Amino acid sequence: MGFHRRLAPSGFNRGAGAALCALSAAAAALGAAPASAAPQGHTRAEVDRLYQQAEEATEAYDKADERADALRREVNHSQDRIARRQQSINAMRETLGSLAGAQYRSGGIDPTVALLFSDDPEDYLDRASLLDRIDVRQAGQLRELQAAMRELAQERSEATGELAELERSRTAVAAHKATVEKKLATARRLLNALPAADRAAFEHASRGADRADLPDLFGVSAPDGRAAAAVAAARAALGKPYVWGASGPSGFDCSGLMQWSYAQAGIHLPRTSQEQRYAGRQVPLSQAQPGDLVVYRSDAGHVGMYVGNGQVIHAPYPGAPVRYDPVGMMPISSVTRP
């Protein structure tokens, strides 16, 4: 098919990312380039390299952002638990104070009971010689207070650790975001520096296949309802823009598209392509079925969804919308069936 011929991998940089397909298409559209065009060829290869690095940084950003979200939820839950436990402790202290006050007024308890209401009632309980000054009920309540204060101190310590980890995660998110933006800005500057004809050919290739070249998927069906729903969702996303760090519905990065598509089928996938690689049973490429996740490159830095007849749907890179491409567009790392 013409689609296959136009997007077949070139000799550039065998480990390159999805942008290589478009770059190969641009080179084919330009025809045989004279020696003087070598700088443009180098620029296209450099853009490809930058897009691949940006995609790797995007996956790292997605992972750090997901961790930051989880930590924010943990911190909020911890703060709620701490507030509830503090209210419980205040109520316990108030009850003990009322009992102690009544006993003191009736002469039934020594003034040293004030020790009970210090910040560390354990000091009192450790003094066995004073235990005969209180009744069994108060002793039980004091021990409950002691246990509650220990648990509160532990939860506060854990919350402090969670807050510190959240701050580190926020820092990592910001660093990955800056890396992505820098790579993409550099790639855009290089593209803008290309001659108009080269740039136009690249942009045309980035838009993917014309409608006449769409793959023939007649008669292809998914193995079960969940896979069929995920494939249908991925097809519904065709033409949506690549947006780094996005997981739909208006834009996607590669792993975000997979996560969103399977979410429409009621299945939760992890956020990054590295994690999605292990989110199911791995099968040989020769046994791939519609809905399977095809993970690319040794670093598992890119992922697409197999839809049959040697085609995947994926979000390639900035400037290229969600589209069909040949499954062998770049080195395949594994095939996973969620």
The answer to whether 206 touches 44, Cβ cutoff 8 Å, is no
Return the pLDDT at 109.
47
Q: What is the pLDDT of residues 47-97, one digit of tens each?
A: 778 887 878 878 888 887 888 778 788 878 877 877 877 877 777 777 766
pLDDT of the residue at 135 = 57
Q: Of 141, 171, 206, which residue sits at a domain end?
A: 206
Strand, coil or helix: what is 221? Answer: coil
Structure confidence at residue 50 (pLDDT): 81
Range of lowest pLDDT (3-12, 194-203, 243-252, 269-278): 3-12
Q: What is the pLDDT of residues 310-319, one digit of tens each?
A: 999 999 988 7
Confidence of residue 111 (pLDDT cuts 50, 70, 90): very low
Q: Which of 184, 206, 228 is the last residue of a domain?
A: 206
Active site residue 176: no
Instruction: Identify which has the larger pLDDT, 136 or 89.
Output: 89
User: SS3 of 107, please?
Assistant: coil
229 in the same domain as 177? no
Band (pLDDT 50/70/90 cuts) for residue 256 is very high
Q: Contact, 242 vs 302, CB < 8 A?
A: no
> How confident is residue 185, by pLDDT bands cut at 50, 70 and 90?
confident
What pTM, to 2 d.p., does this model score?
0.58
Average pLDDT of the segment spanning 181-210: 76
What domain range includes position 55? 17-206
Residue count (the chain): 338
117 plus 51 within the same structural domain: yes
Strands 323-326 and 311-314: antiparallel
Mean pLDDT across 24-30: 30
Neighbours of 65 (CB within 10 A): 18
Q: Per DSSP, what are the bridge partners of residue 324?
A: 313
Quickly state the pLDDT bin for 119 (edges 50, 70, 90): low
Give CA separation, 236 vs 242, 250, 313, in Å.
Answer: 14, 11, 11
Q: What is the CATH number of the domain that holds 269?
A: 3.90.1720.10
* Active-site residue identified among 42, 176, 204, 314: 314
Higher pLDDT, 198 or 189: 189
User: Are 54 and 17 within 8 A, CB to CB?
Assistant: no
Asked whether the predicted pLDDT for residue 219 surpasses 50, the reply is: yes
Domain boundary (206, 222, 244) is at 206
Number of folded domains in the chain? 2
Exposure string over 90-102, b if 16+ CB within 10 A, otherwise e: eebbeebeebbee
Are 115 and 264 found together in one domain?
no
Q: What span, in angstroms and rounded, lies between the C-alpha atoms of 116 and 114? A: 5
Q: Kindly state whether residues 194 and 77 are assigned to the same domain.
A: yes
Give 252-297 as a DSSP string. B-HHHHHHHHHHTTT----SSHHHHTTSSEEE-GGG--TT-EEEET
* pLDDT value at 192 more than 80: yes
Say if residue 107's pLDDT is above 80: no
Band the pLDDT of 240: cuts 50, 70, 90: very high
Instruction: List the end-to-end C-alpha distance of the chain, in Å, as a whole number.
Output: 30
> What's the DSSP call for residue 320?
B
- Give me the chain's average pLDDT, please: 74
Tell me whether strands 281-283 and 293-296 are parallel, antiparallel or unpaired: unpaired
Would you say residue 165 has pLDDT above 60?
A: yes
